[in-house]
């Protein structure tokens, strides 16, 4: 069966927000065997939305619409649903109660009339109660095509989708089984990976598709297939991924959805009961924020210092000023001293240190923009490497963070 996603909102079409909802919805639908045929972003405009409904209905059994709800959106989606389904809006007393409850819980005082107005829904709609916000979801059907409307606020949309929409979709539709498995690799370019696995790739059967997803120091390799027999499908893809993973054992870090590079690092450190600290200069908190984004980070991550100003590398972290003077602040020598001192200061088994020039202007040293030195300390041992990651600030920081994780993972994976 096929689904389409329609996102409503001028803010998407003028580039003010990035549509992250569609990716989330697509991923969740895929997990239950629903293939997304197309994603379409349209304006807050009745005619345009109606046209999108008609177009989507040509292919899709299920159409998920997000956005265009809420007091300040003039509820364009609900009014257009009424037109499309020849229906009228009626007040739903349960939604009124839900709105009052939310206002009470968050101590927002009495709901305004514009808030209560959100309890109006098309009379034929099955209401999907939104416990996280005031705009309800709706489920309506026309000629066997199901239309679902969800609020555009990601948090509310996600909860409604998982708690209410997916179970209803599972109940309502027969679905094949769709299976993806994605191998994460770090440290080798797309073409070089492709070249290395060319024979393996050429021997893939017709019904299994391989995709390469390169980005800033990593390449993801995805195998996809769909069919009726779940076990045969999994077996077929898993066994091929096993072979691939062995072929790329020097650059593969694991499977997406099962792990991230931070997840893998966390797993190894926890298993070995080892700890980590950071001394991030040019990456300025990016490595720490990626580590602490993962629940349970506190089991192995003890702390970090960001000595952004050169002198603080000496004052707070204890890097000898003479070292900085001799080798410059962006040097493998300084990176190594930072990493070793981070281990000592935080009393950790391992430390990552970064120092470099993210740009666009040059820093305190003589080095080119994009120069980054990364050091990994393991107790009293330390190693380091010097890189140039180009001249775009965001890319320099992201590549430096990815490379740091790659280097640390190699180190902690040793026996």
For β-strands 177-186 and 276-280, DSSP reports them as unpaired
Minimum distance from CB of 124 to a copy of itself (Å)?
Answer: 28
Tokens of 218: 């990593």
Instruction: Look at residue 20 and give its three-state secondary structure.
Output: coil
C-beta of 167 vs 296, nearer to a copy of itself: 296
C-beta of 83 vs 392, nearer to a copy of itself: 392
C-beta of 392 vs 411, nearer to a copy of itself: 392
C-beta of 86 vs 250, nearer to a copy of itself: 250
Minimum distance from CB of 188 to a copy of itself (Å)?
Answer: 11
User: What are residue 306's phi and psi, to 5 degrees?
Assistant: -115, 90
Cα separation, 235 vs 241, whole angstroms: 10
Cα separation, 137 vs 126, whole angstroms: 9
Minimum distance from CB of 405 to a copy of itself (Å)?
Answer: 14
Minimum distance from CB of 341 to a copy of itself (Å)?
Answer: 12
C-beta separation of 8 from 150 below 8 A: no
C-beta of 10 vs 87, nearer to a copy of itself: 10
C-beta of 272 vs 308, nearer to a copy of itself: 308
Q: What angle do CA 40, 45, 46 make, to 5 degrees?
A: 100
C-beta separation of 39 from 95 below 8 A: no
C-beta separation of 226 from 233 below 8 A: yes
Smallest CA-to-CA distance from 120 within 159, 161, 162, 74 is with 74
C-beta of 122 vs 359, nearer to a copy of itself: 359
User: What are residue 208's phi and psi, to 5 degrees?
Assistant: -115, 125
Alpha helices in 152-229 (DSSP H): 154-160, 166-172, 190-196, 198-202
Minimum distance from CB of 151 to a copy of itself (Å)?
Answer: 11
C-beta of 41 vs 77, nearer to a copy of itself: 41
Minimum distance from CB of 117 to a copy of itself (Å)?
Answer: 11
Which residue is listed with tokens 């993962």?
294
C-beta separation of 289 from 323 below 8 A: no
C-beta separation of 75 from 40 below 8 A: no
C-beta of 124 vs 260, nearer to a copy of itself: 260
Beta-sheet strands, E only, within 55-208: 62-66, 89-91, 120-122, 126-128, 137-142, 145-150, 177-186
CA atoms within 13 A on the CB side of 191: 0
């Amino acid at each position: 069966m096929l689904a389409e996603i329609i996102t409503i909102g001028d803010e998407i079409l003028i580039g003010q927000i990035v549509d992250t909802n569609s990716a989330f919805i697509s991923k969740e639908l895929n997990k239950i065997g629903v293939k997304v045929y197309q994603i379409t972003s349209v304006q807050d405009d009745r005619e345009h939305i109606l046209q999108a409904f008609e177009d989507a209905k040509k292919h899709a059994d299920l159409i998920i619409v997000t956005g265009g709800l809420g007091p300040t959106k003039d509820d364009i989606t609900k009014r257009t649903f009424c037109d499309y389904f020849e229906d009228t809006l009626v007040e739903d007393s349960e939604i009124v109660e839900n709105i009052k409850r939310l206002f009470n819980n968050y101590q927002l005082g009495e709901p305004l009339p514009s808030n209560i107005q959100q309890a109006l829904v098309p009379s034929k709609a099955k209401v999907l109660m939104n416990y996280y916000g005031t705009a309800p979801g709706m489920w309506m059907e026309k000629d066997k095509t199901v239309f679902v409307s969800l609020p555009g606020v990601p948090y509310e949309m996600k909860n409604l989708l998982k708690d209410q929409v997916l179970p209803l979709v599972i109940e309502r539709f027969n679905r094949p089984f769709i299976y993806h498995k994605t191998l994460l690799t770090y440290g080798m370019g797309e073409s070089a990976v492709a070249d290395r696995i060319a024979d393996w790739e050429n021997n893939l059967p017709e019904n299994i598709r391989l995709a390469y997803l390169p980005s800033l120091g990593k390449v993801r390799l995805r195998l996809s297939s769909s069919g009726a027999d779940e076990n045969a499908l999994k077996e077929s893809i898993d066994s091929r991924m096993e072979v691939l993973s062995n072929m790329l054992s020097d650059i593969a870090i694991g499977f997406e959805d099962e792990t991230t590079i931070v997840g893998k690092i966390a797993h190894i450190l926890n298993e070995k009961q080892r700890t980590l600290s950071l001394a991030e200069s040019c990456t300025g908190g990016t490595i720490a924020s990626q580590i602490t984004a993962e629940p349970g980070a506190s089991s192995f991550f003890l702390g970090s210092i960001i000595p952004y100003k050169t002198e603080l590398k000496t004052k707070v972290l204890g890097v000898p000023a003479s070292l900085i003077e001799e080798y410059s602040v962006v040097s493998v020598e300084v990176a190594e001293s930072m990493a070793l001192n981070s281990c000592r200061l935080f009393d950790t088994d391992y430390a990552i240190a970064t120092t470099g020039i993210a740009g666009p202007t040059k820093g305190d040293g003589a080095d080119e923009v994009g120069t980054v030195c990364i050091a990994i300390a393991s107790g009293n041992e330390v190693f380091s490497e010097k890189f140039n990651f180009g001249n775009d600030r965001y890319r320099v920081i992201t590549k430096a963070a990815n490379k740091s994780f790659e280097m640390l993972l190699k180190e902690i994976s040793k026996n």
